[in-house]
Structure 1
Amino acid sequence: MLWKWLVKPQGLKNAPATSIDLYCVRRAVNDKTDIEMHKEHLRQRLGLMRKHKLYVNLKKCIFGASEIPVLGCLVGKNGVRPDPEKVRVINELPTPSNVKELRQFLGLATYLCKYVDNYAGKIRPLSQRLKKEAAWNWTGECQ
C-alpha cells in the first residue's frame, strides 16, 4: 500500500531542517510600502500552498506587519531586536542573593548576549561570583 503524510510527523530526522527551510526561505516578509503588491504576493503564496495541499493556521499568521515575532525576537526592515517583554521580565528580576539565583539570572540574561556589545566583559563580575573559592559579596559593580 502506498501512502503519504498529510502533516509532518515528529521524529523524522530531516523534519527540523525542512521546517526551518520553509519557515525562513519562504517567509513572506515584505518591507515595501505597496499594500497591493503585498496582497498579490500573499495570494500567490497561499495559492501555491493550496495547490500542494499545505495548510496554515490563520490564528498564527500575521499579515501586513512592519515587524513580526520570530523565534523569540522581533524582525523588521530595520533588523532584529530583542522582544521588549522578555527584556522587561529580565530587568524586573530581584537581585540574586546566592549562587543558585545568580546562575538562574545568568541563564535568562544569556538571551540578550547577541544584542549587547562585549556581553562577556559586562557579566565578568557576576561570573567571578560563581567560582567555588569566591566569597559572596554583592557590590555596585555586580548590580
Structure 2
Amino acid sequence: MRESDIPLTAVSTPSGMLWEWLVMPQILSKDPATINRLVTQLFRPLRAYAQTYFDGIFVHSRAGDGKTAMEVHLGHLRRVLEVMSANKLYANIDECVFASPEIKILGCFVSNVGVRADPEKVKPVAAWPTPRS
C-alpha cells in the first residue's frame, strides 16, 4: 500500500482511537476493481501476447523467429508466470488451461481461427419458432 493511502484506511475503534491499515485490508484486496487495476498494470508490458480480464490472463502465441508456436507459447507462459511470482499472485490450477487450441471465455470460444458463440448459449434463440405474421 502506498504511504499516502494509509490515512484513507483509518477507522475509529469503540475506545475512540484511530486505527490505520499499513497493508491493504483483506476486504479491499478481493474487490474486483482493485484486482482488475492491479492485473492490468502488471501485465501491460506483455499485452502483445497476454490479455487480462479481471483476474483472468489469456496468453496467445504465434510461430516466429524460427520457433514453433509451442516454443513461443512456452516462453510467453514463462514470462507471465515470472510476473505473477514476482508480485505474489497465484493461479488456481483447477481453472487453468494450458496450450489449448481453443478456450471458452465469456460465453464464447476463442481460437486461432477466431471467435464463435457457445452453442449452448445460442440454442434457446435458435429454437424460437419462426414468426408467422
Q: TM-score range by the shorter chain?
A: 0.5 to 0.7
How many residues in Structure 1 have an aligned counterpart in Structure 2? 96
Shift of 1:4: 2.5
State yes or no: 1:58 paired with 2:93.
yes
Contact in 1 for aligned 2:102/2:110 (Cα 8 Å):
yes
C-alpha separation in 2, matches of 1:46 and 1:69: 21
Shift of 1:63: 0.8
Alignment of 1:25-36 (within 5 A): 27-32=58-63, 33-36=68-71
**Percentage of matched positions with identical amino acids:** 30
Aligned to 2:116, what secondary structure does the other structure show? Answer: strand
State yes or no: 1:9 paired with 2:30.
yes
C-alpha separation in 1, matches of 2:61 and 2:80: 13
TM-score by length of 1: 0.51
Alignment of 1:1-143 (within 5 A): 1-5=21-25, 8-10=29-31, 14-15=33-34, 17-18=36-37, 21=40, 23-24=52-53, 27-32=58-63, 33-92=68-127, 95=129, 139=132
C-alpha separation in 1, matches of 2:89 and 2:36: 17
Query: Mind listing any 5+ residue stretches in structure 2 that lack a counterpart?
Result: 1-20, 44-51
Q: Which has the higher strand share?
A: 2
Contact in 2 for aligned 1:74/1:81 (Cα 8 Å):
yes
Alignment RMSD: 3.3
Q: Which one has more relative contact order, counting CA pairs under 8 Å at least 6 apart?
A: 1
Contact in 2 for aligned 1:67/1:75 (Cα 8 Å):
yes
Shift of 1:47: 1.8
Aligned to 1:3, what secondary structure does the other structure show? Answer: coil
C-alpha separation in 1, matches of 2:35 and 2:22: 24
C-alpha separation in 2, matches of 1:83 and 1:77: 16
C-alpha separation in 1, matches of 2:38 and 2:120: 26
Instruction: Give per-residue Cα distances to partners, 1:33-73, cap 9 Å, x unaligned.
Output: 52122112212211220111011111111111122112111
Shift of 1:92: 4.2
